Structure 1
Amino acid sequence: MNIVFDFGGVLFHWHPASFLARLWPQRAADEQAGAALAQDFFQNYSGDWGAFDQGLIDAPTVIARISARTGWPAEEVRQVVEAVPDELQARPATVALIEDLKAHGHRLFYLSNMPEPYADHLERSYPLHDWFDAGVFSGRVKLSKPGREVFELAQQRFGLPAEQLLFLDDHPANIEAARALGWQALLFSDADSVRPELQALGLI
């Protein structure tokens, strides 16, 4: 099988509510308040942040746009944008799952909504070329999930038919988009929860 991993929330830790509560204690007294801030900051990965994800604007521009839209000082917004790479720490259980899947002979790929500066950071910091045969970062191809086009591009780059791809992602909209194109897909919460599903498919 050919298994395609999302990155944020799957391979790499990403929890915006707790992230903003830690980074902006002056604005978010707890995780619940951090979740509300995250809605305004990241706009469910559409709007300003979606354009950054797609590589349509750079970091200074997304900082300026978020500051103008929300009224938050640009320096505070910059603090968040610059802190994201260090927040993207590999999840050990998912790394172990990757190693198990590779040991069972499966080919692994990735499809990630990721601004180009963060993609560069991950490539410098982790052995992506050892873990994966190939992958697609949204910021480099100017397309993002759940848009149909980025799945079609990924399928073309991987050189595989849809029915031979199994996608792991933590967002239901992305799972639905993959399935609509004929991919197999599993909604991911954590590695321990998805293992039984992979075992049921005879993959590990």
Structure 2
Amino acid sequence: MTTHLNIQAIVFDLGGVLIQLGGHLIKNEWRTTESNHDIVGDSWLLSKTAQDFEKGLITPLDFAEKIIAELSLNITPTLFIEHFAQWPIGPYPAIFNTLSQLRHHFTLGIFSNTNAIHWPRLLNEMSLTGKVDYYFASHLIHLAKPNPKAFKFVANSMGLEPNTILFLDDNPYNIDSARQIGFIAHQVIGFDSTLRCLHRLGVL
């Protein structure tokens, strides 16, 4: 298989790409008659409260209180935070072997819309520390996908032209934004899809 010669770096999203996520964030028993939707997928990405939290602009308690109010949920902020903390389940099987193989040939990075609750678990409990060369956590850089400025920040921080960076994410909004900046961006859903993409491009 021919390698995509222009690729110098590979940047991965976490949730739904390297890390498996749980199901719905909102339990049915929390809902009231006023509750009418969940915060997942595109709704999560476009929610101002979620974006503010993932840009590090509000505290975990502020986040929980606002989500509970927005969705009219019957749950305390403390219990919501405890449940929310467990949303990332863990790494997909074999990701660390794959990252190790890729790291021999490419600069690797992670760019995740994440937060002060999940990030410590991802690095420590899920052993992501030291597995790639660059870590871009939205709540630490105060920029979140799909804002094009976030992708410009990533490319500039890595010292690379966008068209030399392969970016893999499960959300089409993020893929479109990355492509606007010049990234080689592909949507993947789960780690099997990620592996197929890497093989198709000849980087693995």
Structure 1 length as normaliser, TM-score? 0.82
- SS of the residue corresponding to residue 39 of structure 2 reads helix
Quote the Cα distance in structure 1 between the aligned partners of 2:174 and 2:188: 11
**Contact 1:40 1:70 (8 Å CA) reproduced:** no
Cα distance, 1:42–1:165 mapped onto 2, change above 3 Å: closer
Contact 1:53–1:144 (CA under 8 A) maintained in structure 2? yes
CA distance in 1, matches of 2:65, 2:80: 13
1:165 corresponds to 2:172: no
Tell me if 1:98 matches 2:105.
no
Assess if the C-alpha contact under 8 Å between 2:9 and 2:164 holds in 1.
Answer: yes
Alpha-carbon separation, structure 2, partners of 1:27 and 1:71: 9
Indicate how the Cα distance of structure 1 residues 42 and 26 shifts in structure 2: closer, same or farther if over 3 A, else same. Answer: farther
Paired residues, what number? 191
Query: How do 1:46-195 and structure 2 match up within 5 A?
Result: 46-75=47-76, 77-88=77-88, 89-102=90-103, 104-195=104-195
More helix by share: 1
- Between the aligned residues of both structures, percent identity stands at 26
- CA RMSD of superposed structures (Å): 2.4
Which deviations, in whole Å up to 9, do the C-alpha atoms of 1:49-89 show, x marking residues without a partner?
221111111111111112222221341x5423322333311
Describe the superposition over 1:97-144 as per-residue Cα deviations: whole angstroms up to 9, x where unpaired: 323323x52221011100123212322223333211011111112110
- Give 2:11's aligned residue: 4
Alpha-carbon distance between aligned partners in 2 of 1:200 and 1:39, rounded to the nearest angstrom: 33
Aligned to 1:26: 29
The alpha-carbon deviation at position 37 of structure 1 amounts to 4.4
How many Å separate the matches in 2 of 1:137 and 1:97?
21
Answer yes or no: is the 8 Å Cα contact 1:2–1:165 preserved in 2: yes
3-state SS of the aligned residue for 2:202? Answer: coil
One-letter amino acid of the structure 2 residue matched with residue 4 of structure 1: V
For 1:135, what is the secondary structure of its paired residue? strand
Write the distance in 2 (CA, Å) between the matches of 1:167 and 1:41: 19
Q: Which letter does structure 1 place at the counterpart of 2:176?
A: E
| Residues in 2 aligned to 1:162 and 1:118: alpha-carbon distance in whole angstroms | 28
Extract unaligned runs of 5+ from structure 2: 1-7
Give CA-to-partner distance per residue, 1:143-198, whole Å, 9 cap, x none: 10000111111111111111110001000010111111111011111222232332
1:44 maps to 44
The residue type paired with residue 79 of structure 1 is L
> Aligned partners of 1:138, 1:48: CA distance in 2, in Å?
14
